[in-house]
Amino acid sequence: MLRRPRRNRQSAAIRAMVEETTLSVSDLIYPMFVMEGQNLTTEVKSMPGIFRYTTDKLLEEIAVCQDLGIKAIDLFPQIPEARKDKYASESYRLGNMYLESIHKIKNKFPEICIMTDVAMDPYSSDGHDGLVEDGKILNDETLQILGNMALAQARAGADIIGPSDMMDGRVGYLRETLDDEGFTNVSIMSYTAKYASAFYGPFRDALESAPKFGDKKSYQMNPANTKEALIEAELDYAEGADFLMVKPALAYLDIIKLLNDNFNIPIAAYNVSGEYAMVKASAQNGWLDGTRTMVECLTSMKRAGAKVILTYFAKEFALLKQEK
């Protein structure tokens, strides 16, 4: 045998030397949940280790995260049912809890990159990402609401806005809206290939944002499809997106690779709530080594071509790196 692949695996030094994929904390964006009130922290039942924070508590937690090397967060609001309406008007009401929270984070931690979520669902009494009429999701009417929301977030201090709604044409619409108001430096991380997935369950528990009727199949993509992801990516790229995101991540590594092979802007992967919950649940049962499984999953996303990973594991991974 002239070629013995095991020679390159024989010692820790050689294995480290030939390692092709390295994960660092700066690759990660930490999704965090913020809620109204004061001095409160509540754990999300289906996401052990993940909490909803009132803004004061959130600021404390961000300080801890920053010390661990986390540089970017993605903020999601839990909105009380009483503030929800058909038009998600709470989403751009000046001084609302979410915008105030962004503003405070930016003031206190100017170096932290704040990503915000642009979609109607946490604010919508219908629980959908778009405006509903006669059971249908209206595309073009939704864009205007998303535009108001994105502008309000940019004004509050968002660095990256993340349209997660999957309406057609929203990236171009939001780019123009932001540019017209002078926010040419606010980035857009588009949820480019967002699939209609069962893996979002725990997130909808966290925000109580599940659709009140029907499902999201008329706007989120069919998990069976690949070609559509390319069409979505072509449109988002042409419309000015700065990052293309694939969501969920683990069951869609082929899509991450496809976009990375075809587009010269950074690809992001969203390691979603259900993927987190799966690992946590089996680790709690002693069925899997949670830490090793976490690292293996995140590495697979990076190996597939994701430059950026949004993950609820960000803090745990940062802690692990610090121990080493």
Q: Which residues bind ligand PBG (CB under 6 A)?
A: 117, 119, 121, 129, 164-165, 200, 203-204, 216, 272-273
Whether 232 has a binding-site annotation, put simply, is yes
Calpha distance 50→22 (Å, rounded): 25
Helix residue ranges per DSSP H, 35-128: 55-67, 97-108
Of 202, 208, 273, 211, residue with least CA distance to 78:
208
Q: Is 212 exposed, middle or buried (0-12, 13-18, 19+ CB in 10 A)?
A: exposed
Q: Give whichever of 61 and 205 is closer to ligand PBG, judged by the CB atom.
A: 205
**Shortest reach from residue 323's CB to ligand PBG, in Å:** 26
Q: Are 141 and 129 in contact (CB under 8 A)?
A: no
Q: Of the residues 194, 280, 302, 315, which is catalytic?
A: 194
Q: Give whichever of 118 and 178 is closer to ligand PBG, judged by the CB atom.
A: 118
**Shortest reach from residue 203's CB to ligand PBG, in Å:** 3
Residue 216 annotated in active site: no
Q: Give whichever of 27 and 165 is closer to ligand PBG, judged by the CB atom.
A: 165
Instruction: Quote the Cα angle for 208-126-219, to 5°.
Output: 95
Q: Give whichever of 36 and 74 is closer to ligand PBG, judged by the CB atom.
A: 74
**Shortest reach from residue 168's CB to ligand PBG, in Å:** 16
> Per DSSP, which regions of 89-213 are E strands?
113-118, 131-133, 136-138, 160-163, 187-194
Residue 247 annotated in active site: yes
For strand 28-35 and strand 308-311, is the pairing parallel, antiparallel, or unpaired?
parallel
Q: Of the residues 247, 280, 302, 315, which is catalytic?
A: 247
**Shortest reach from residue 4's CB to ligand PBG, in Å:** 43
Which residues sit in the known binding site for Mg(2+)?
232
Q: Which amino acids are annotated catalytic?
A: 194, 247
